[in-house]
Amino acid sequence: MTKKVLITKDFNHMSEVAANIVKEEIIKVLKNKKEFVLGLATGNSPTGLYKNLAKMMNNGEIDNSKIRSFNLDEYVGLPGENAQQRTIHPESYCYFMIQELFGLLNKKFIETSVPFGCLIDQEKFIKELEAHPDDWSELGVDAGKSIVIKDNAASEYLRWVRKTVQEDYIQKIENAGGIDLQIIGVGGRGHVAFHESGIPFEGSKVLIVKLDENTMTNAVIDGHFPSKEESPWYAISMGAELVYRAKTVLLLANGERKMDPITKSLLNDPTPEVPISYGQIYSEKGGNLIYVIDKIAGKKLLANKILLEEKGIEIQNLE
């Protein structure tokens, strides 16, 4: 059981420290295993880490030909006539990973997997939800809700989504032996991937999440999509229950917006209101939890160093 917080100077320092942790873990695990299973995240937080990892891999410090990867999440409803067009859309997380990591590598991973959100036809999915209201339910207390499809759903399409998009992704990870190290970021309310604030921990292995109005509106305002009608309304995401099954979880956070959720996740009791607080339960069960954050995100944690240490959390200031 490890609970460790590393405070770094800035984004670049955070990225370097995190990359070295990943490198050391890969080298250690590959001494006893033929493959390393790496969990990947999107968003700004891991981009510097990925650039550092790409250099290490291309320099031969890490043998990435022995790595298999799984991503946290993907949109449902990206523009495109078919799954192929949706997958290569510039706003897809598949496209993001090619830009930020996969496309930088001289040698390929064994295999890379992103949740199968692009397989779903959003228009058909919405019609089936409307036509079969007894086939599903919503979980969550905030704007972003988890859509839970019943295993005995009358709709053949909804049964296919549950089986192929959700359960098969879980099975694929299990067939690979589970994730050795999972990289995650954190949202402004403490959410991980699209496991939004208020969605329960239990039953959250792979979620279908209805995006809240604010998320969709901001995506249009920020120029990612031309209109709400042409933007994703849903996403497929690993939930906290699956994220925190990895042998090691490496959380990255920088900036003032991340300060409060980071602080609450370690100082307060675990709660679905702050999904990353599940890390406390995870570490108590033997998981290896490491936070690598910059000094701004870690300001309140440093101020509560004694309290953290009383809770068994090691905190190191690397500035």
**Digit-coded pLDDT (tens) for 280-315:** 999 999 999 999 999 999 999 999 999 999 999 999
Cα torsion 100, 101, 105, 107 to 10°: value is -150
Is residue 222's pLDDT more than 80? Answer: no
Q: Is the model's pLDDT at 215 over the cut of 80? A: no
Of 92, 97, 91, which is closest to residue 41 (Cα–Cα)?
Answer: 97
- Give the 3-state secondary structure of residue 209: strand
Q: What is the pLDDT of residue 91?
A: 93
Q: Phi first, then psi: what are they for 215, rounded to 5°? A: -60, -45
pLDDT at 218 over 80: no
- Strand order across the 314-317 sheet: 111-113, 67-71, 36-40, 181-184, 248-253, 288-294, 2-8, 314-317
Instruction: Name 252's bridge partners.
Output: 292
How far is the C-alpha of 214 from the C-alpha of 216, rounded, in Å?
5
CB of 259 closer than 8 Å to CB of 300: yes
Using the predicted structure, report yes or no on whether residue 137 has a pLDDT greater than 80: yes
pTM: 0.95
In three-state form (DSSP H/G/I as H, E/B as E, the rest C), the secondary structure along 9-22 is CCHHHHHHHHHHHH
pLDDT band at 2 (very low <50, low <70, confident <90, very high): confident
Q: Of 156, 190, 173, 172, nearest to 260 (Cα)?
A: 190
Binning pLDDT at 50, 70 and 90, where does residue 224 land? confident
| 276 confidence band (pLDDT: 50, 70, 90) | very high
pLDDT at 206: 96
List the chain domain ranges.
Answer: 2-317
Residue, of 275 and 143, whose pLDDT is higher: 275
> Looking at the chain, how many residues does it have?
319
Protein fold of 2-317: Rossmann fold (3.40.50)
**What's the whole-number mean pLDDT along residues 124-140?**
96
pLDDT at 229 over 90: no
pLDDT confidence of residue 253: 97
120-126-132-134 Cα dihedral, nearest 10 degrees: 90
Q: How confident is the model at residue 220 (pLDDT cuts 50, 70, 90)?
A: confident
Give percent above pLDDT 70 in the chain.
100
Q: How much is the mean pLDDT over the chain?
A: 94
